[in-house]
Amino acid sequence: MKQIAVVGVGYVGLVTAACFADLGNKVIALDIDERKIARLKQGRMPIYEPGLEELVRRNVHAGRLQFTTSYAEALEGTEFAFIAVGTPEGGDGEADLRYVQAAARSIAQAMTNPLIVINKSTVPVGTGDWVADIIREHQPQPMPFSVVSCPEFLREGSAISDFMHPHRVVLGSTDPEAAEKVAQLHLPLRAPIIVTDLRTAEMIKYASNAFLATKISFINEIANICEALGADVEEVAVGMGYDPRIGPLFLKAGLGYGGSCFPKDVKALAHMAEEKGRQPQLLHAVMDINADRRRIAVERLEEMLGDLQGKTVGLLGLAFKPNTDDMREAPAIDIAQMLSEKGAEVRAYDPIAMDNARDLLPQVTMCADPYALAKGSDALVVVTDWNEFKQLDLQQIRDLMRQPVIFDGRNIYDPAQMCALGFHYRGMGRGYKGPCAEEKPPAADETDAE
């Protein structure tokens, strides 16, 4: 059993603390937000993540997981201290490191024994060296410590599984002995462990997220071309995905990426490149394509409904992805705002995220369920691909709507089935199959064929 402190009980920190406790370690999770810690001590989670509440309660009951607001309490006798605080986007796209700086300073002032400080937060390349400087500068008296980078690769909605069954563990440090101790901490996960230097480990995180964001923007660019040429992007993606050099993951056309990671990490990487005089052209294209997806969705809906003034539009889903209540950079925000600006009355339903969305979207009426959403609506827009939406009674949905118009921003429905049910249906990148075969493939004389 190791004694571990985790600074920050947000998404990454709470999952990290609970999972290490479940592996048999003694973990103290710390946050300066007294209200958040008080709620956790009552068994109330600050975030929605499947399985997390039960995992936290089990380990608290077993005495392996505790919560505190005191650095002194968290660090007493501790060998490992994870920094898992937020790094929100700054004004120019750079990562805001004020919380990392505060955590490093507080660790330095409170530590009473040798310590391995582990950066779990997503931080710019070079932050590990900077954290070491902060700790060294703010120690009341010199105390041995090492800094290790251990970037997280957790997906919202499957974070516990991702932690317990990672594809790899990445560690970076200038201290091989410290890196080996952190590697030992991760051995029960039975995953490949990559040990490198601090800056390379930090770069692996940014490069990974930027590549995945690029795949999403690539397939969305292909979706635009599919619509113009009469092809179906869903079948194109399947055909591409069988190639092991490409793979099937992250080739899902739709409304683009959102959440806490991809948007800010791509921007931060581009900012780092520009600061060093490089021109990250591909990264800028990835961001531009992603931003366009929201606008394209509203334009397609206008093509289906005509003037949106006075129309009632229902949004099926608000969270940026299913199995989370996270509204950060969610496509629903931009879509709702654009619809409102065009004079539409906007309604919405989401199984989990409506409480978080109310303050962000005060002009949107929240509905009790998908059927209340459909009643009297001129159109529905599938924004989040919750499994619940795939199992709706679509005939009842159609009968409740003022006009049976559905724009499927996540391609969760079969165009032929929707047409057979009497919907005016359109998906993303479905070509002439999209709007119930109303569009036809390009004629031969409209192509370059002879």
Where do the DSSP E strands lie in 284-436? 312-316, 345-349, 365-366, 379-382, 405-408, 424-427
Phi/psi for 404 (5° steps) reads: -80, 65
226 in catalytic set: no
Q: Do domains 3-196 and 211-433 have the same CATH topology?
A: yes
The packing angle between helices 98-110 and 127-138, to 10°, is 40
- Please name the residue ranges forming H helices in 189-330: 198-229, 233-241, 262-275, 281-305
User: 3-196 is classed in which CATH architecture?
Assistant: 3-Layer(aba) Sandwich (3.40)
Q: What secondary structure letter does DSSP report for 444?
A: G
Per-residue pLDDT at 252: 97
Can you name the residues that pair with 365 across neighbouring β-strands?
Answer: 347
Instruction: Give the phi and the psi of residue 215 in degrees, each rounded to 5.
Output: -60, -40
Q: Distance between CA 128 and CA 132 in Å, rounded?
A: 6
pLDDT in tens, the chain (450 residues): 899 999 999 999 999 999 999 999 999 999 999 999 999 999 999 999 999 999 999 999 999 999 999 999 999 999 999 999 999 988 788 889 999 999 999 999 999 999 999 999 999 999 999 999 999 999 999 999 999 999 999 999 999 999 999 999 999 999 999 999 999 999 999 999 999 999 999 999 999 999 999 999 999 999 999 999 999 999 999 999 999 999 999 999 999 999 989 999 999 999 999 999 999 999 999 999 999 999 999 999 999 999 999 999 999 999 999 999 999 999 999 999 999 999 999 999 999 999 999 999 999 999 999 999 999 999 999 999 999 999 999 999 999 999 999 999 999 999 999 999 999 999 999 985 545 555 444 443 443 433
State how far the alpha carbon of 142 is from the alpha carbons of 9, 108, 115, 318, in Å.
Answer: 28, 10, 12, 50
How many other C-beta atoms lie within 10 A of the C-beta of residue 309?
9
What pLDDT, on the 0 to 100 scale, is given for residue 90? 83
State the amino acid at position 71 in one-letter form. Y
275: which 2 tokens? 């600061």
Give the phi and the psi of residue 197 in degrees, each rounded to 5.
-85, 170
- Decide if domain 211-433 falls under CATH 3.40.50.720: yes
Position 450 scores a pLDDT of 34
- Could you tell me which residues come within 8 angstroms of residue 159 by beta carbon, excluding any fewer than 6 positions away? 11, 15, 49, 52
Dist. CA 156–CA 325, nearest whole Å:
9
Alpha-carbon distance 177 to 174, whole Å? 9
Structural element, H or E, at residue 417: helix 415-420
Name the H helices within 33-189. Answer: 34-41, 52-61, 71-75, 98-110, 127-138, 159-164, 176-186
What was the pLDDT predicted at 433? Answer: 52
How is residue 41 annotated by DSSP?
H
Q: Point out the catalytic residue in the list 19, 150, 226, 261.
A: 261
349 phi-psi bin (left φ>0, alpha ψ -120 to 50, beta other): beta
Question: pTM of the prediction?
Answer: 0.92
**Which residues is 68 bridged to in the sheet?**
30
User: What pLDDT is recorded for position 89?
Assistant: 87
Distance of CA 78 to the CA centre of its chain: 31
Domain ranges of the chain: 3-196, 211-433
- Per the document, the length of the chain is 450
